Amino acid sequence: MSHQHGHGHGHGHSRWGRLRHVVKPHSHDSADRVDTALETSRQGLRTLLWSFVLLFATAVVQLAVVLLSGSVALLGDTIHNFADALTAVPLGIAFLLGRRAATRRYTYGLGRAEDLAGVVVVMIIAGSAVIAAWQAIDRLIHPQPVGHLPVLAAAGLVGFLGNEIVARYRIRVGRRIGSAALVADGVHARTDGFTSLAVVLGAGGVAVGIPLADPVIGLGITVAILFVLRDAAREVFRRLMDAVDPGVLDLAERTVIGVAGVVGVGDMRMRWIGHTLRAELAVTVDASLTVEEAHRIAHDVEHQLVHAVPRLGAATVHTEPAVRAAVAHEALAHHR
């Protein structure tokens, strides 16, 4: 017997939500889940919009200084900041698609669009690394003077501050709404902030009479971008391959074992769809229970799971009679 039931976390946070739950326990099924999904995507979109505006403004200020000073290190940083601002576009599209309700063709909705957006983000980061490296190597081969050093250093500080503000904003909201793509983008912005500080170092090097400091710092920025690329690619690959933190699975199993009437738990699986987790699991119950009683235990399991596991939106619970499960287990042991 299988039991499928899911909802978001949103209903329990207010007095009205708790009252509604008592009066009509099942009313939170689909409506609240949609409300929660809409709210999380709304928060995500708001974060992307403001971070895009801030990073774009930062990059425009830096570009003006690049034209003034001729610094290739700042050019690399500016290119990367423009690229970082542009990563908001595929993520924004993904958040909008994720808001769409499930259909007969897309029965789980379009939450996976966020994973595809993650792939696009990785490609943008890779492209920015190639451009920054090309500019730095070209400047090493064909040295050019770097001027307006105080303005250049100030532009580096502007880049650092802009990125750090965006990083904190993206990471905080990303963790709150369970978006790996948004958190990865925030970490990416933070690294960009440190590459902006490297521009200040380059300006200092030129100021003390080391003209090659600027293109060398430019290459250093490229290396930093490559490290960000590796981390972002690993995170996106894990999501595409349905990777879940084993600690979350441990928490879920402990929660299920603690539910009254559950004899054992096995065959638990989880996967991300957008920024929501879905779970499938089997629980063993007393073989003498009626279908209705087994169903009630399955409902309790799902209810406890959704409240205990962060970002879990739905769970499919399959109940098995304990006697049959024990016999099957013995047969399997004998076969081995």
| Whether residues 170 and 256 fall in one domain | no
Residues 212 and 310 in one domain: no
Which residues in 36-55 are b (16+ Cβ under 10 Å) and which e? bbeebbebbbebbebbbebb
Determine, yes or no, domain membership for 62.
yes
Q: What is the mean pLDDT of the chain?
A: 84
Percent of the chain's residues with pLDDT above 70 = 85
pLDDT at 35 (0 to 100): 56
Res 24: pLDDT: 33
With a pLDDT cut of 90, the percent of the chain lying above it is 45
Q: Bigger pLDDT: 21 or 216?
A: 216
Residue 96: inside a domain, yes or no? yes
The pLDDT value given to residue 259: 97
55 and 80 assigned to the same domain? yes
Residue 2, in any domain of the structure:
no
pLDDT of residue 56: 94
Are 202 and 310 in the same domain?
no
Look at residue 324 in the predicted model and tell me its pLDDT.
57
Indicate whether this model's pTM tops 0.85.
Answer: no
Contact 218, 75 (CB under 8 A): yes
The listed range with the strongest mean pLDDT (69-83, 135-149, 154-168) is: 154-168
Mean pLDDT value of segment 119-124 = 86
Query: For residue 9, what pLDDT is reported?
Result: 40
- The first and second tokens of residue 17, run together, are 């939500």
23 in any annotated domain: no
| Statement: residue 116 has pLDDT above 70 | yes
> In this structure, is the dihedral angle defined by the CA atoms of residues 207, 212, 215 and 220, taken in order, positive or negative?
negative
- What's the rounded mean pLDDT across residues 116-139? 86
Q: Which of 240, 265, 298 is the last residue of a domain?
A: 240
**Mean per-residue pLDDT, 179-192:** 80
pLDDT in tens, 277-314: 999 999 999 999 999 999 999 999 999 999 999 889 99
Residue 333's pLDDT band, with cuts at 50, 70 and 90, is low
Residue at a domain's end among 240, 267, 298: 240
Residue 11 in domain: no
- The residue among 9, 99, 86 whose CA lies nearest residue 303 is 9
> How many CB atoms are located within 10 Å of the residue 276 CB?
25
Q: Cα–Cα distance between 99 and 225 in angstroms, integer?
A: 32
Domain boundary among 205, 222, 240: 240
**Do 123 and 154 lie in a common domain?**
yes
Count of domains for the chain: 2
Between helices 113-141 and 88-98, what is the axis angle to 10°? 180
**Do residues 315 and 186 both lie within one domain?**
no
Q: Would the pLDDT of 210 be above 50? A: yes
pLDDT of residue 99: 86
Going by pLDDT thresholds of 50, 70 and 90, the confidence category of residue 232 is: confident
As a whole number, mean pLDDT of residues 166-172 equals 93
Task: Identify the domain containing residue 273 by its residue range.
Answer: 244-335
Which strands sit side by side in the sheet containing 276-285, from one edge to the other?
2-6, 312-321, 276-285, 262-273
What is the predicted pLDDT for the residue at 11?
39
Instruction: Give the CATH number, domain containing residue 267.
Output: 3.30.70.1350
Three-state secondary structure along 162-213?
A: HHHHHHHHHHHHHHHHCCHHHHHHHHHHHHHHHHHHHHHHHHHHHHCCCCCH
- pLDDT at position 2, please? 54
Segment 7-51, tens digit of pLDDT: 444 333 444 343 333 333 333 333 344 457 678 888 999 999 999
47/192 same-domain check: yes
H/E stretch holding 312 reads: strand 312-321
Q: Tell me: do 96 and 226 sit in the same domain.
A: yes
**Do 93 and 133 fall within a single domain?**
yes
**Cα dihedral: 91, 155, 165, 163 (round 10):** 40
Residue 200 pLDDT greater than 50, yes or no = yes
Structural element, H or E, at residue 33: helix 30-69
Model confidence band, residue 336 (pLDDT cutoffs 50, 70, 90): low
Please tell me whether residues 97 and 183 are part of one structural domain: yes
187 touches 169 (CB < 8 A):
no
Bridge partners of residue 198, in order along the sequence: none
What is the phi/psi pair of residue 131, to 5°?
Answer: -65, -45
Residue 194 and residue 134 share a domain = yes
The answer to whether the CB of 192 falls within 8 A of the CB of 92 is no
Residue 4 reports pLDDT greater than 90: no
**193 and 301 inside one domain:** no
CATH of the domain at 48: 1.20.1510
